[in-house]
Chains A and B, each alone.
Chain A
């Protein structure tokens, strides 16, 4: 490889600053008392404490999974603080009362939490370490009967809805990290869109880890009632630290009859430095359940984190349900990603589409892991999977682990895969037309990811494209 590709993969992480703010942090360690303390801090209803404790006890009996194609040292679960919140003098009445230091943080990240944001048609919930610090456009949304608030508020104001749906898609016993999350999650976003309502704006949550040695364990629950529609975006960043931090989130989507949920993620957690020191362990469980004629569409652009372990999945329970998964995962330097999806076809004539684009640069390792399961009753089920890998340089890796289980003869399941290498010839061709090496790589990679980017809402697509360029800087040479 010539120096132009090499010099492109390593630009500084842009969101690595730390906000100097006083916080209320629980000492490191995990026990039943800690679980109770978290619940008490949030003034949660009794059912919640019980649920958390059941999860905790279950977690104690479980083993950390080591089947993903990633390598990392042992995690000291007693060395992590499970709760950290910026100190506030009193409960916040409105966004105007949010600590100016926090507002500045989000402004710096390009997420203004002021009501100006309304103009751009996006409502934002901002999660700082363990708690939500503000949600915009709530009044406007309430006119439609749409609930968009922090998980904590949902528990206080809509406990029935939470109790009904929490764990209905990802039970607390689902897996090691989901159990841990269920025990200690401190906040997250909650969305409910009533019957037949089309949510008029994009809803978005912006996650920020600030404190050192804390984990972030948020939980998102989105319910689209019959015939409803909602498009939801999440973005994530964290300061640069030399230690690894754990982020174990759970996202549950419930799409009732005829409802549509579109969930987009741009994940840009701190990835560690070029030698692989520090960075976020992003161990996330995301799953949706689609009832009859419902549709759930996941789009993810994964550019950050030292290790990514996530498989946004869809249980296609009702007849004619549709599941989609569009993914771009980029690894550079020493990043590792093991990501993909599960499409579980239960209902008749259920359809799923999987488009995965993996880009590996530096010494990064990227694995696609997918499961397409057609149960015996899923007559007429269809799946199309396309799984493409692109290699930048010759020290990186791309792996594919597709699992297909078909239990019904009428099902049609297709799988296509390709691996290509970003070519010196492509870069030189574009340079010979006046483009810089960075523009060239960005253009080639964007072209490779086009099918996924077109699924993202417009402004997110631009951000994703820019992020991709930044992540790959220094990768080409």
Chain B
């Protein structure tokens, strides 16, 4: 059974349709890159999968691990192993990163029927995770994303991902605003977290990130549809020819993503 099956997904913000029939299948162990020009619907897809109520789903279905994802509240999705690394991580002043992370970790443990972890045990877990994303332990005492630089915020997202160990991670433009060193650290983190039983969707505008996180499949999104799917070379071709190459041509039609993932 595939981990994620998206069929004919349509969504809008207010009156504006943004997704116009997305088809995509993701199996365990795979990394999918979703690319596309600005405004193509990449981030909307990521937000809809995480359950952001600002987006209204108007058609289609999403099946996650055999269950109807669209029926699930955002927190239930997170507890079921879906993780969205935000393009714009949100600041929560006065709440320490450590407290926030442990609360999230424990919610997810509870949902799995596991016992909650006390602060001391959690500190041990954090040591290892911090090393994985090359983060200073001082970050744990700071308020969630408050006063963090752009790069620190993105790294903090990957730290959360490392702690929560999702089954399906969605990275929304995690590379934007990162210098090359930070990009490498973030990509290293993602690669270290790769396992045969989890999957990753990398949403990105640029090919650059895909030099470090090598995808199994690349999908090109425009006007809320997947216009073209292929292997990792598609990203290089896009870099070379530009998005016009795909968007000016005719769509390859529904089911392209599904075929690519099959």
Known: A429-B92, A448-B94. A434 touches B54 (CB 8 A): no
Known: A432-B50, A433-B78, A434-B107. A446 touches B160 (CB 8 A): no
Shortest Cβ distance from residue A453 to the other chain B in the assembled complex, whole angstroms: 9
B53 touches A4 (CB 8 A): yes
Shortest Cβ distance from residue B157 to the other chain A in the assembled complex, whole angstroms: 10
A425 touches B78 (CB 8 A): no
Chain A residue nearest to B170 (CB atoms) is A432
A450, CB-defined interface residue at 8 Å: yes
A428, CB-defined interface residue at 8 Å: yes
A353, CB-defined interface residue at 8 Å: no
Shortest Cβ distance from residue A228 to the other chain B in the assembled complex, whole angstroms: 33
Stretch at the interface among B82-90, B227-235, B242-250, B252-260: B82-90
- List residues of chain A with CB within 8 A of the CB of B77: 432
Shortest Cβ distance from residue B90 to the other chain A in the assembled complex, whole angstroms: 4
Which residues of chain A in 433-470 are interfacial with respect to chain B, using CB atoms and an 8 Å cutoff?
433-437, 439, 443-444, 446-451
B84 touches A443 (CB 8 A): no
B100, CB-defined interface residue at 8 Å: yes
Which residues of chain B in 15-58 are interfacial with respect to chain A, using CB atoms and an 8 Å cutoff?
50-54
B107 touches A429 (CB 8 A): no
Determine which of A424, A430, A432 lies in contact with B92 in the assembled complex, contact meaning CB atoms within 8 Å: A430
A432 touches B94 (CB 8 A): no
A429 touches B75 (CB 8 A): no
- List residues of chain A with CB within 8 A of the CB of B125: none
Report B51-75 CB contacts with A as 1/0, cut-off 8 Å.
Answer: 1111000000000000000000111
Report B182-204 CB contacts with A as 1/0, cut-off 8 Å.
Answer: 00000000000000000000000
A423, CB-defined interface residue at 8 Å: yes
B95 touches A435 (CB 8 A): no
Chain A residue nearest to B109 (CB atoms) is A434
Which residues of chain B in 123-172 are interfacial with respect to chain A, using CB atoms and an 8 Å cutoff?
143-144, 160, 164
A447 touches B79 (CB 8 A): no
Report B85-110 CB contacts with A as 1/0, cut-off 8 Å.
Answer: 01001111111000010011001100
A436 touches B75 (CB 8 A): yes
- List residues of chain B with CB within 8 A of the CB of A4: 53
B89 touches A429 (CB 8 A): yes
Cα distance A432–B89 in the bound complex, in angstroms: 11
B13, CB-defined interface residue at 8 Å: no
A2, CB-defined interface residue at 8 Å: yes
B95 touches A431 (CB 8 A): no
Determine which of B54, B73, B92 lies in contact with A431 in the assembled complex, contact meaning CB atoms within 8 Å: B73
B78 touches A431 (CB 8 A): yes
Known: A2-B53, A432-B84, A439-B103. A446 touches B95 (CB 8 A): yes
Determine which of A3, A434, A443, A447 lies in contact with B108 in the assembled complex, contact meaning CB atoms within 8 Å: A434
B73 touches A444 (CB 8 A): no
B78 touches A443 (CB 8 A): no
- List residues of chain B with CB within 8 A of the CB of A435: 75, 103-104, 107
A426, CB-defined interface residue at 8 Å: yes
Shortest Cβ distance from residue B170 to the other chain A in the assembled complex, whole angstroms: 10
Chain B residue nearest to A443 (CB atoms) is B95
Cα distance A425–B92 in the bound complex, in angstroms: 10
A434 touches B94 (CB 8 A): no
B111, CB-defined interface residue at 8 Å: yes
Determine which of A3, A434, A449 lies in contact with B79 in the assembled complex, contact meaning CB atoms within 8 Å: A434
A434 touches B104 (CB 8 A): yes
A443 touches B73 (CB 8 A): no
Chain B residue nearest to A420 (CB atoms) is B93
Chain A residue nearest to B76 (CB atoms) is A434
Determine which of B78, B93, B144 lies in contact with A434 in the assembled complex, contact meaning CB atoms within 8 Å: B78
Cα distance A425–B94 in the bound complex, in angstroms: 16
A447 touches B143 (CB 8 A): yes
- List residues of chain B with CB within 8 A of the CB of A446: 94-95
A449 touches B108 (CB 8 A): no
Shortest Cβ distance from residue A442 to the other chain B in the assembled complex, whole angstroms: 10
B89 touches A447 (CB 8 A): no
- List residues of chain B with CB within 8 A of the CB of A436: 75, 107
Shortest Cβ distance from residue B75 to the other chain A in the assembled complex, whole angstroms: 5
Which residues of chain A in 1-21 are interfacial with respect to chain B, using CB atoms and an 8 Å cutoff?
2-4
A443 touches B92 (CB 8 A): yes
Cα distance A428–B48 in the bound complex, in angstroms: 12
Cα distance A436–B79 in the bound complex, in angstroms: 10
Cα distance A428–B55 in the bound complex, in angstroms: 12
Cα distance A240–B169 in the bound complex, in angstroms: 48
Known: A439-B103, A444-B95, A448-B94. A431 touches B89 (CB 8 A): no
Cα distance A443–B160 in the bound complex, in angstroms: 17
Cα distance A198–B249 in the bound complex, in angstroms: 83
Chain A residue nearest to B160 (CB atoms) is A433
Shortest Cβ distance from residue A435 to the other chain B in the assembled complex, whole angstroms: 6
Chain B residue nearest to A449 (CB atoms) is B94
B94 touches A450 (CB 8 A): yes
A428 touches B74 (CB 8 A): yes
Chain A residue nearest to B86 (CB atoms) is A429
Determine which of A3, A424, A429, A448 lies in contact with B54 in the assembled complex, contact meaning CB atoms within 8 Å: A424
B92 touches A426 (CB 8 A): yes
Considering the complex of A and B, which 6 residue pairs feature the smallest CB-CB distances, nearest first? A447-B94, A447-B95, A434-B107, A434-B78, A433-B104, A429-B90
**Interface CB pairs A-B, < 8 A, 16:** A428-B52, A429-B90, A429-B92, A430-B92, A430-B104, A431-B73, A431-B74, A432-B77, A432-B78, A432-B83, A432-B86, A433-B104, A436-B75, A443-B103, A447-B92, A451-B94
Q: Chain B residues in contact with chain A, CB under 8 A?
A: 50-54, 73-75, 77-79, 83-84, 86, 89-95, 100, 103-104, 107-108, 111, 143-144, 160, 164
New A-B pairs, 6, CB < 8 Å, besides A2-B54, A433-B104, A443-B103: A428-B74, A430-B92, A431-B74, A444-B95, A446-B94, A449-B94
